[in-house]
Amino acid sequence: MDDARRCLVTGAGRGIGAAVAKRLSAAGHRVALTSRSVGELEALAAQLPGPSLIVPADVTDPEAIECAFADVERAWGPVEVLVLAAGAGTSAPLRRTTDADWQRMLDLNLTAPFRMLRRAVPGMVDQGFGRVVAIASMAAKQGEPYIAAYTASKHGLLGLVRSAAAELARTGVTVNAVCPAYVDTPMTDTSVASISSTTGRTPQQAREALERHQPIGRLITPDEVADAVLLCVASAAITGQGINVDGGAVQS
């Protein structure tokens, strides 16, 4: 396709990142896949219909970020579409949230996206085209109990997106965030296990509680998040947005 783009997706081994990578590939784009798990990336690459590149990296390591971009640039040229899907959560009352918990959330959910955005922007600006989409969370827009460190990191990520979008608005580069509620992914499985262990509910009861938390009465699917990402990639007029994919939980 004439408008095929060079894409880099972090957190591509599973969940939202994998769903986005599949959709980008199906749309005709080249997709470089980044996560810490080589096995997961190899399994995903085998499913993609289009060209792919496996670039394993721990995105909290600045040198690994540089190597990932350099690998893509050597193989294909500068990254045109950057999807920041790597992330994790943690849950604890404030009084039991350790400095290490706090720092881990900031390192992975905020500092790593900042470094990757900073690395990608010069090439995008030089080309006059770029799309950056960060997977944030509804926790970027509202606070809930027991997830202070995660919420702070996602609020920061949305702030980074908004500031970068304003700065780059006249360059042809757009920067957006997609803010899902609970998505049916391994990360939510971890949340379910945590709820079950701390409340005594069965895993099924814990999952049903998360489903009831959303007006549509179910978890969001990774493909529904990918729908919003692909919209941001397609449009030159959507920038600086935090697009809710939450089943109507937060109306804005």
Tell me the CA end-to-end span of the chain in Å, nearest whole number: 35
Which domain, by its residues, includes 192?
182-219
212 lies in the same domain as 161: no
78 lies in the same domain as 188: no
CATH number at residue 102: 3.40.50.720
72 lies in the same domain as 192: no
**Residue 50: HSE in the Cβ half-sphere, 13 Å Cα cutoff:** 18
Cα 91 to Cα 195: distance, rounded to the nearest angstrom: 9
For residue 1, count CB atoms less than 10 angstroms from its CB and return exposed for 0-12, middle for 13-18, buried for 19 or more: exposed
Residue 2 has what pLDDT?
Answer: 54
58 lies in the same domain as 158: yes
User: Is pLDDT of 205 > 90?
Assistant: no
Other residues' Cβ atoms within 10 Å of the Cβ of residue 148:
20
34 lies in the same domain as 68: yes
Distance from the Cα of residue 201 to its chain's centroid: 29
Looking at every residue in the chain, the average pLDDT score rounds to 94
Which amino acid belongs to residue 8?
Answer: L
27 lies in the same domain as 119: yes
DSSP assignments along 50-113, one per residue = S-EEE----TTSHHHHHHHHHHHHHHT-S-SEEEE---------GGG--HHHHHHHHIIIIIHH
Phi and psi at 206, nearest 5°, equal: -65, -45
Q: How far is CA 90 from CA 56, 83, 134, 147, 188, in A?
A: 24, 22, 19, 6, 11
84 lies in the same domain as 172: yes
The tally of domains found in the chain comes to 2
| Structural domain contains residue 144 | yes
Selected catalytic residue, list 150, 165, 206, 241: 150
| Structural domain contains residue 244 | no
| Structural domain contains residue 245 | no
Residues 14-55 have pLDDT tens digits of 999 999 999 999 999 999 999 999 999 999 999 999 999 999
Cα 207 to Cα 211: distance, rounded to the nearest angstrom: 6
| Structural domain contains residue 1 | no
pLDDT-based confidence at residue 1 (cuts at 50, 70, 90)? very low
Residue linked to tokens 């089943």: 247
Query: Active site includes 182?
Result: no
23 lies in the same domain as 143: yes
| Structural domain contains residue 249 | no
| Structural domain contains residue 95 | yes
Residue 165 has what pLDDT?
Answer: 98
| Structural domain contains residue 251 | no
Cα 25 to Cα 12: distance, rounded to the nearest angstrom: 12
94 lies in the same domain as 158: yes
Residue 224 has what pLDDT?
Answer: 97
| Structural domain contains residue 28 | yes
Asked if 125 contacts 168 with a C-beta cutoff of 8 angstroms, the reply is yes
Cβ contacts of 113 within 8 Å, gap of 6 or more: 84, 134, 157, 160
Cα 13 to Cα 85: distance, rounded to the nearest angstrom: 10
Cα 109 to Cα 99: distance, rounded to the nearest angstrom: 15
- Tokens standing for 189? 């499985």
Residue 206 has what pLDDT?
Answer: 76
Residues 92-149 have pLDDT tens digits of 999 999 999 999 999 999 999 999 999 999 999 999 999 999 999 999 999 999 999 9
142 lies in the same domain as 190: no
Cβ contacts of 221 within 8 Å, gap of 6 or more: 183, 184
145 lies in the same domain as 31: yes
Average pLDDT over residues 50-77: 98
- Tokens standing for 71? 């690998």
User: Is pLDDT of 90 > 80?
Assistant: yes
76 lies in the same domain as 103: yes
